[in-house]
């Protein structure tokens, strides 16, 4: 029998990626899992005594509210991003002549630091900001409205920040859609609304689900937008994790919260795979 030759080129290609994934992803993640079952010391250190109290603490009303608020805000952000993003991506895909210009405009926010863009919204929404000033001048209001440091301000910041993450997969899915199915539906007498509902939506479902996941998961974990636009009035899971690591010095509890967030992300990814699998098996009609 002939011995198979070892392809050292493939091994050399895999080794750097494997090294990176092992030491910069797997090892830190395993360490986070490990310390999530440890205790916090009196001086803010880690006491290596096993416990599950970090997970049972999450059952208190305070932390349940934080999780609930985080999920609600992430869900509302995803719904609005999808509601605004789908029409934008749909009509942008039809304007072939200005495709590059539209993509450049969509990617332009990424060229500016997200903190700077968030501070821009603070200037707009603050009590002495541009929006309140314009409303007072036009006589619509007599006193400045409190728009900053509210849940509404946080959602505006979230939607603005996450909008491109929704549009890009939607645009890619709509642009690659097979138009023959739409023409076939029209030839069979289907109205525009029925064609959109029974043909366009199923064909672009991979982009819809991918966009929703790309928006929902970061929205749950983002902490700088609630910090800047919500102040002390808004506490989300991302802020809670940050506070446990940097302020409360309770690394084990912060690690436990992070693990729960990771499991939530994995569940959503599994849902995505299931939905896409069913969609591909069922077909358009």
* All structural domains of the chain: 57-282 (1.10.3720.10)
Give the confidence band of 217 by pLDDT, cuts at 50, 70, 90: confident
Residue 283: per-residue pLDDT: 44
Mean pLDDT of 191-204: 87
pLDDT digits (tens, 9 = 90+) for 115-166: 888 888 998 998 888 899 899 998 888 888 888 888 889 999 999 999 989 9
pLDDT band at 265 (very low <50, low <70, confident <90, very high): confident
Strand partners, 40: 46
Looking at residue 284, its pLDDT comes to: 42
Structure tokens at 167: 């549009």
Q: Return the percentage of the chain with pLDDT > 90, whole number.
A: 25
Region 86-108: what's the mean pLDDT? Answer: 82
Q: What is the mean pLDDT of residues 17-25?
A: 85
**Which of 99-113, 153-167, 179-193 is the most confident on average?**
153-167
Among 1-15, 188-202, 265-279, name the most confident range: 188-202
d(CA 282, CA 285) in angstroms, rounded, equals 7
d(CA 174, CA 89): 7
Per-residue pLDDT averaged across 30-52, rounded?
Answer: 91
pLDDT in tens, 225-237: 998 898 878 888 9
Instruction: Choose the weakest-confidence range: 134-138, 187-191, 201-205.
Output: 187-191
Alpha carbons within 13 A on the beta-carbon side of 151: 11
Using CA atoms, how far apart are residues 66 and 265, in angstroms rounded to an integer? 17
């Amino acid at each position: 029998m002939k011995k198979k030759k070892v392809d050292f080129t493939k091994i050399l290609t895999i080794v750097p990626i494997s090294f990176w994934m092992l030491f910069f992803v797997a090892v830190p993640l395993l360490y986070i899992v490990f310390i999530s079952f440890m205790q916090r010391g009196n001086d803010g250190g880690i006491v290596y005594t096993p416990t599950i109290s970090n997970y049972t603490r999450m059952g208190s009303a305070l932390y349940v509210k934080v999780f609930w608020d985080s999920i609600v805000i992430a869900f509302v952000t995803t719904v609005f991003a999808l509601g605004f993003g789908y029409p934008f991506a749909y009509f942008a895909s039809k304007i072939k002549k200005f495709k590059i210009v539209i993509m450049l405009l969509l990617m332009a926010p990424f060229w500016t630091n997200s903190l700077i863009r968030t501070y821009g919204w603070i200037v707009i929404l603050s009590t002495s900001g541009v929006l309140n000033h314009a409303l007072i001048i036009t006589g619509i209001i007599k006193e400045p409205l409190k728009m900053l440091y509210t849940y509404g301000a946080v959602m505006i910041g979230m939607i603005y920040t996450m909008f491109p993450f929704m549009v890009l997969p939607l645009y890619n899915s709509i642009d690659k859609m097979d138009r023959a199915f739409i023409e076939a539906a029209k030839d069979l007498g289907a109205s525009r609304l029925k064609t959109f509902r029974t043909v366009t939506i199923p064909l672009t479902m991979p982009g819809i689900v991918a966009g929703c996941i790309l928006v929902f998961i970061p929205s749950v974990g983002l902490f700088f937008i609630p910090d800047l636009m919500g102040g002390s009035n808004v506490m989300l899971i991302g802020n809670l994790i940050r506070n446990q690591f940097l302020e409360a010095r309770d690394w084990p509890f912060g690690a436990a919260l992070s693990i729960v967030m990771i499991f939530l992300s994995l569940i959503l990814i599994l849902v995505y795979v299931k939905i896409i699998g069913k969609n591909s098996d069922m077909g358009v009609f």
